Amino acid sequence: MHGPGKPPFVKETGFRHFLSAARYSWQGFLRLLHEAAFRQQLGGFVLGIALLIVIGAEFQRIFIFAGLMVVLFAFEAVNTAIEELVDHLSPEFSMFGRHAKDLGSLACACLIGLNAAYLAYAVAEIYWR
């Protein structure tokens, strides 16, 4: 029990903060694995990396593709967080909820397009050398 004036939660500092942040991130990753879109993106990541390796892409191209995919994963996590909040705040249909979810989806779609375009460019550039 907390006495008067004492916060119920004490923020960790130093190395304990690092461990807590790592645990929260891992929990977020495990939550994101429940999303079909994220699992499909992970599959695209694995297939894209495998394709680049098979065709002999330089490390730099593989690294750029991996980096773009990590950005996509981050946006998918934010999109999922938005959906969780909207579902909690507005369980029934609402225009604000629809717009929030549509905008989060658009952000992910833009990155999927960018990643696919980069992969196509990298493959084409290797074949037309």
Active site residues: 76
DSSP 52-94: HHHTT--HHHHHHHHHHHHHHHHHHHHHHHHHHHHHHH-SS--
**Cα Rg of the chain, angstroms:** 20
Tokens linked to 51:
């394709």
